[in-house]
């Protein structure tokens, strides 16, 4: 009764008011107006930018951000007829509003007992989309009717239809037929088939429900309504109807690797300017390996979810010899336009910075077998403040070789090493490795207090994995320009920044991290696939890192909260990031040979007593083979075990304490 009362009491007044409007404002045939397009005209030869991975597999597309206008001659005749048939069969007869259609709709509403049909003409729909809100009020309907009548006086039917197709919404962010044809079929409007037109003609009634990517049953049912109506109006024959119902239509697949594609977009704009996206016409071969990308997304999502559903993470995988970014995941549950933590987020790397300090020390002549003591030292910070850095957990080991200090991620010894080589020297060294750091952070740089992106940190490890060659990250391998019919190659940028011997010895030290050090959970992996890496954990457990590599692949993982806060005790690089790294890397190296890092000629191996750093004698209870850059190996035998007269051990003593810039990571 309520619907009947509402319909009869209020909406039955509507056709009366509209009839009066018609009587008072008779409609004369309109003459064609000049330029009425609201957007730039669609280029005749436009094609979207398509992105393929390094194996030629389709990844996704880059579509223009702007809206473009399709003239009526570029809109298929079949689509025009289909829309008129299903939306406004008397379009060419009425003057903007269709009293007969409104009356018919109201009768149906009364019979059904609910609002099932609106009776709006194409002109009214255009007015509502272009100028008015969707509010269902008598006032809005009257404004819509008056404006529709005025429109019919000003524009021809063909012009109104052209405006309609360019203004109507087709779902999934597609405003107008140009965007709809691109998003759903990767075509210009004039390229649409009759079967594709039949689908699109049914969308405006309910874009969220009937768009081509919606539920198949709903989309098909609506298309059948369109075709049935066209048969009733003798626009197509029953035979054509049947053919179009059975004709297969292929939709564009949803894009994959959304953030990687967004990064490619940024690189294209950086190279060609922002207008390149609007111009289109390119095929881009990306460095991406689509299979690895999917594995990276899965490993990161599942790994982070086990820790906390509110936490985030990132993963970057490179080919260390070329810098090719094989996979990059900028977060968990990402969507188009999501913040890319792999390339943009700057966080403190904690102890994952230490391999660069130790590599710099090796270049200065300090050796992996040299002995250091981790007794804490106090540093004057000025203003009567003292900085006394401690090891993680405040434990003390006493004397340690540089190798073991790195494996255990010893904070105190790392600070002493940085002090020995000098902060300016190290920041210059890190810059050459591709990691810009601020010297004003002082000795706290040893604990990773400067902020870096995951992508930059992983790139800085490439010289360690590739024998001293720094590889700049590459996301685009080549580009084909359809207009010029020409390829543009984007060769790798590889620069020697580190002595091969230094890279090798540092890598051998980092192998211990994965056997008995802070990432010993990866021991089995490293036994199956020779690998090296380093954990990173920042103060108060805010960030967890692991960067590790084989000779063929280097991968970094970061986990933490977007708004930095503690992850809780035990939230460390070894416990949180390393398992994610392993899960991904097992798939990344599964089809690759388990080869070891090649030893350069400039590296020598000698047997030492690891507790003293001297050459081992027969009486030494502990012995190990240690690698040295030729010329830095010890020449004295162990004095504690029959090596002759005692001489100073091969240790580089730290210089006197100096002020540190700021507190560091424990």
DSSP assignment of 386-400: EE----GGG----EE
Helices (H), 514-636: 523-528, 578-588
Distance CA 663, CA 395 (A): 18
For residue 136, the model assigns a pLDDT of 67
Q: For the chain of 666 residues, list the mean pLDDT of each consecutive stretch of 10.
A: 44 51 52 81 92 97 94 97 96 86 59 54 90 74 87 93 96 95 96 97 96 96 97 97 95 90 96 94 98 98 95 98 97 86 96 98 97 93 87 91 97 97 98 96 95 97 98 97 95 97 98 98 97 94 97 98 92 97 97 95 97 94 96 95 56 43 34
For residue 664, the model assigns a pLDDT of 33
* Burial label, 340 (beta-carbon count in 10 A; 0-12, 13-18, 19+): buried
Distance CA 70, CA 92 (A): 21
At 343, list the tokens.
């390339």
Distance of CA 152 to the CA centre of its chain: 48
Q: Are 284 and 51 in contact (CB under 8 A)?
A: yes
For residue 281, the model assigns a pLDDT of 95
For 341, list phi and psi in degrees, rounded to 5.
Answer: -75, -20
For residue 115, the model assigns a pLDDT of 44
Q: Which of 48, 87, 370, 471 is catalytic?
A: 87
619 in active site: no
Helices (H), 233-326: 238-246, 258-272, 275-279, 290-307
For residue 199, the model assigns a pLDDT of 97
pTM, rounded to two decimals: 0.87
For residue 569, the model assigns a pLDDT of 86
For residue 275, the model assigns a pLDDT of 94
351 in active site: yes
Query: Angle at the Cα of 442 (from 436 to 448), degrees rounded to 5?
Result: 60
Q: Which of 48, 167, 196, 351 is catalytic?
A: 351
For residue 338, the model assigns a pLDDT of 85
First to last CA, the chain: 74
At 19, list the tokens.
């009839």
Nearest Cα neighbor of 460 from 451, 472, 449 is 472
For residue 129, the model assigns a pLDDT of 86
Residues pairing with 548 in the sheet: 533, 555
Distance CA 470, CA 458 (A): 11
Q: Are 543 and 345 in contact (CB under 8 A)?
A: no
Q: Which domains does the chain have, with CATH numbers?
A: 70-246 (1.10.3810.10), 601-646 (no CATH)
For residue 3, the model assigns a pLDDT of 41
């Amino acid at each position: 009764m309520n619907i009947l009362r509402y319909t009869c009491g209020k909406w039955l007044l509507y056709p009366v008011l509209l009839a009066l409007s018609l009587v008072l404002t008779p409609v004369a045939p309109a003459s064609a107006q000049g330029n009425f397009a609201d957007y730039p005209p669609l280029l005749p030869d436009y094609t979207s930018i398509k992105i393929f991975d390094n194996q030629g597999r389709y990844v996704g597309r880059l579509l223009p951000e702007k809206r473009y206008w399709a003239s009526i001659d570029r809109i298929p005749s079949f689509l025009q007829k289909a829309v008129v048939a299903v939306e406004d069969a008397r379009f060419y007869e009425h003057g903007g509003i269709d009293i007969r259609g409104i009356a018919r709709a109201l009768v149906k509403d009364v019979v059904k007992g609910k609002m099932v049909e609106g009776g709006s003409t194409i002109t009214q729909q255009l007015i509502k989309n272009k100028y008015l809100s969707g509010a269902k009020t008598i006032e809005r309907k009257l404004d819509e009717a008056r404006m529709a009548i005025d429109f019919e006086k000003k524009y021809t039917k063909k012009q109104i239809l052209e405006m309609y197709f360019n203004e109507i919404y087709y779902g999934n962010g597609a405003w107008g037929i140009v965007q709809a044809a691109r998003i759903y079929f990767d075509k210009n409007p004039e390229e649409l088939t009759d079967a594709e037109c039949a689908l699109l003609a049914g969308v405006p009634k309910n874009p969220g429900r009937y768009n081509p990517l919606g539920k198949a049953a709903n989309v098909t049912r609506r298309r059948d309504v369109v075709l049935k109506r066209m048969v009733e109006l003798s626009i197509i024959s029953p035979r054509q109807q049947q053919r179009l119902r059975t004709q297969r239509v292929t939709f564009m697949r949803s894009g994959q690797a959304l953030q990687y594609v967004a990064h490619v977009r940024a690189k294209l704009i950086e190279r060609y300017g922002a207008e390149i996206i609007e111009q289109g016409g390119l095929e881009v071969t990306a460095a991406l390996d689509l299979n690895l990308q999917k594995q990276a997304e899965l490993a990161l999502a599942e790994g982070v979810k086990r820790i906390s559903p509110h936490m985030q993470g990132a993963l970057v995988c490179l080919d260390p010899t070329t810098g090719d970014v094989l996979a990059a995941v900028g977060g968990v549950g990402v969507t188009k336009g999501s913040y890319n933590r792999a390339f943009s987020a700057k966080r403190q790397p904690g102890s994952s910075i230490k391999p660069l300090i130790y590599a710099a020390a090796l270049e200065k002549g300090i050796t992996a077998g040299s002995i250091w003591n981790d007794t804490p030292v106090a540093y004057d910070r000025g203003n009567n403040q003292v900085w006394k850095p401690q090891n993680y957990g405040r434990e003390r080991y006493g004397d340690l070789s540089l190798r073991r200090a790195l494996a255990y991620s010893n904070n105190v010894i790392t600070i002493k090493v940085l002090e020995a080589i000098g902060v300016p020297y190290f920041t210059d060294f890190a810059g050459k490795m591709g990691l810009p750091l601020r010297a004003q952070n002082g000795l706290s740089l040893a604990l990773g207090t400067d902020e870096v992106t995951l992508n930059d940190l992983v790139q800085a490890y490439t010289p360690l994995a590739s024998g001293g060659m720094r590889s700049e990250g590459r996301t685009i391998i080549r580009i084909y320009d359809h207009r010029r019919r020409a390829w543009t190659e984007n060769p790798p940028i590889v620069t020697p920044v580190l002595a091969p011997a230094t890279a090798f010895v540092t890598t051998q030290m980092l192998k211990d991290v994965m056997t008995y050090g802070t990432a010993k959970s990866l021991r089995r992996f490293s036994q199956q696939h020779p690998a090296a890496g380093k954990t990173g954990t920042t103060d108060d457990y805010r960030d967890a890192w692991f960067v590790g590599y084989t000779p063929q692949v280097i991968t970094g993982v970061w986990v933490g909260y977007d708004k930095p806060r503690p992850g809780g005790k035990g939230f460390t690089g070894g416990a949180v990031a390393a398992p994610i790294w392993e899960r991904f890397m097992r798939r990344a190296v599964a089809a690759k040979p388990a080869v070891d890092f090649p030893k350069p000629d400039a590296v020598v191996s000698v047997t030492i007593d690891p507790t003293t750093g001297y050459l081992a004698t027969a009486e030494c209870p502990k012995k190990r083979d240690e690698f040295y850059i030729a010329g830095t190996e010890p020449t004295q035998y162990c004095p504690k075990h029959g090596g002759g007269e005692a001489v100073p051990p091969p240790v580089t003593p730290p210089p006197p304490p100096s002020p540190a810039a700021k507190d560091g990571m424990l």
